Amino acid sequence: MSMVQVTRRDFEGRIRSCRVSNLARGFNLSVSEKENFITVLRSPSASLGGGKTRRLSLHNCFPSMLQRTNLSYVRTFSMFGVDNFSESMAHELFKNFKLMTSLDLENAGLQHFPGEVVNLTLLRYLSLRSTRIDSVPNSIKKLQNLMVLNLRNTLITKLPKKTLELPKLLYLFVGCPYVDVGAQVYPGVKCSTSLQKLSLIKANYKEISIVKELGNFIDLRKLGITELKEIEGKDLCASIEKMKHLYSLSVSSAGKEVYLDLKDMKKSPQLLEKLSLGGRLKEIPAWVGELYNLYKIELKWSKLQNSPLEALHALPSLKELHLYAAYTGAFLVFNAQSFLELRILEIEQCDQLIEVVILEQALPKLQKLIIINCHCLDMVRITKNMRSQLEEVRVPQDCVRIIEE
């Protein structure tokens, strides 16, 4: 039996989380520290010892305990369980990191971007995720070796002009995806053509659209864009057509009642696996029905008058369908032989929806059914086989009816 056990896979079979037993964890840490692979400090009384520490992690310890300690050999540093990390503490700590390449300060409680970080010129990975910083200094341009910059779930609303010009930058994460809040980026920058993931950014900077410039990022694998205006839809389609490797796309409009006009895609992104569209839709764009690798789609605030099922039912790889305020009709009927690979179906806030019907031989692999906050919902009709195969059901119990076979 392997020491590392898989605890969760996604519907494509890819590993999402693992675990080790307490015994194996203790053994791994002991060997790692003995071989000087990593040093983990778990109490204020712990010490580094006499070796040249290269990978250091603090668990529930204040960084002040490292004062008067030689940290010049540390390449990787991370902290866990430190809620109050002051600027002075950061300054004293980071000035000793001369060879740092990876710095993870997620949830560190920082109020401001630590200025000393920009002097870590060998840095390749920087995460300030879920801190309370609200700006990034222009001096970030010093980090010429930076490949990953994670500013997700911070208070940052605007990025310095030089951020996208960092020559080795591959991944840039900013904004708050759960509420579709992006950050502004400057138009007209000399973009890093090697950028692979960019999310979430606003479509405009002070009313100047950056949508056309997104076409310069031809190697993008992931793109998240917010506050798109209806008239910018055509330009966004043209930019997306240039991204031959795109597998994840999230687009939200400038408001819940603002339409997304994405019908002008002449050639659909064939590698696309995840698609999220947030905004009013007159209809689902025709190119969506050609996404044969798509396994997850999310429609938010679409308020479609016609059922979205007709456009999506034949997608051969679709495993997750999420509909949030996406339909204004009264009936949704899943016909036989439709959605043959679907595992998760979520319907929420479709306020005029009265009845959902899942017929025999429809959704044969469904595992999770959620229908909530649909205030007019009166009936959810499913077969007996469907009810027995479901692993999770969140539907008003008084609405469920079993179809007699």
- Report pLDDT for 191: 62
| 3: Cβ contacts below 8 Å, ≥ 6 apart | 20, 21, 24, 28
Can you read off the two tokens belonging to residue 311?
Answer: 């456009």
Predicted TM-score (pTM) of the model is 0.90
pLDDT tens sequence for the chain (405 residues): 678 889 988 766 788 899 988 888 888 878 887 777 888 888 776 767 666 788 888 887 777 677 667 788 889 999 887 777 777 777 778 888 889 999 999 988 888 898 889 999 999 999 999 999 999 999 999 999 999 999 999 999 999 988 988 999 999 999 998 888 899 998 876 666 689 999 999 999 888 899 999 998 999 999 999 999 999 999 999 999 999 999 999 999 999 999 999 999 989 999 999 999 999 999 999 999 999 999 999 999 999 999 999 999 999 999 999 999 999 999 999 999 999 999 999 999 999 999 999 999 999 999 999 999 999 999 999 999 999 999 999 999 899 898 876
Which two three-digit tokens encode residue 289?
């029905």
SS3 322: strand
Burial (CB count <10 Å: 0-12, 13-18, 19+), residue 33: middle
Long-range contacts of 168-173 (CB under 8 A, 24+ apart): 168/124, 168/144, 168/192, 168/194, 169/194, 169/195, 170/194, 170/195, 170/196, 170/197, 171/147, 171/195, 171/196, 171/197, 172/197, 172/198, 172/199, 173/129, 173/149, 173/197, 173/199
Q: Are 194 and 212 in contact (CB under 8 A)?
A: no
H runs (alpha helix) in 203-308: 233-241
Q: What is the pLDDT of residue 53?
A: 82
Cβ atoms of residues 292 and 267 within 8 Å:
no
